[in-house]
Structure 1
Amino acid sequence: MSTIINKTGSEEIKLHVVDYGTGQPIILIHGWPLSHKSWERQIPALVKAGYRVIAYDRRGFGASCKPWDGYDYDSLASDLHSIIEELKLSQVILAGFSMGGGEVVRYLTNYGDAKIAKAVLISSIIPVVKQHADNPDGVPAEKLEEIAQALQEDRVGFLQDFHKQFYGADKDATAVSQGQLDYDFSIASHAAPQATIKAADAWANTDFRAECANVRIPTLIIHGKKDATVPFETAGQQAHKLIANSIFINYDDAAHGLNITHADRLNEDLIAFLRA
Structure 2
Amino acid sequence: MGPAGDGHRRGAAQLHDLRVADPVRREHDHLVALIECGGQRVEKAFSETDQTDDLKAITVPVLVLQGDDDQVVPYKNAAILQDKLLQNSTLKIYAGYPHGMHTTHADVINEDILAFITV
| TM-score with structure 2 setting the length | 0.81
Q: Secondary structure at the match of 1:272?
A: helix
**What residue is the counterpart of 1:188 in the other structure?**
26
**What residue is the counterpart of 2:51 in the other structure?**
208
In structure 1, stretches of 5+ residues that fail to align are 1-161
- For 2:78 and 2:33, how far apart are their aligned partners in 1? 26
Deviation string, structure 1 residues 98-117 (Cα, Å, up to 9, x no partner): xxxxxxxxxxxxxxxxxxxx
Contact 1:221 1:247 in 2 (8 A): yes
**What residue is the counterpart of 1:233 in the other structure?**
76
Which structure shows the higher strand fraction? 1
CA, structure 1 residues 240+168, in 2 after alignment: closer, same or farther (shift >3 Å)?
farther
Deviation string, structure 1 residues 196-236 (Cα, Å, up to 9, x no partner): 86251322221111221111001100011111101100100
Which structure shows the higher helix fraction? 2
Contact 1:167 1:261 in 2 (8 A): no
State the aligned residue count: 114
Cα RMSD for the two superposed structures: 2.4
1:247 and 2:90 equivalent? yes
Q: Secondary structure at the match of 1:250?
A: strand
- For 1:194 and 1:215, how far apart are their aligned partners in 2? 23
Structure with the greater alpha carbon radius of gyration: 1
1:170 and 2:9 equivalent? yes
- For 1:192 and 1:212, how far apart are their aligned partners in 2? 26
Q: Secondary structure at the match of 1:268?
A: helix
CA displacement at 1:194 relative to structure 2: 9.0
Contact 1:176 1:261 in 2 (8 A): no
CA, structure 1 residues 181+198, in 2 after alignment: closer, same or farther (shift >3 Å)?
farther
Aligned counterpart in structure 2 of residue 224 of structure 1, from 64, 67, 72: 67
Structure 1 segments of 4+ aligned residues over 6 angstroms from their partners: none
- For 2:68 and 2:94, how far apart are their aligned partners in 1? 6
Structure number with the bigger relative contact order (C-alpha 8 A, sep ≥ 6) is: 2
Percent of pairs identical after alignment? 27
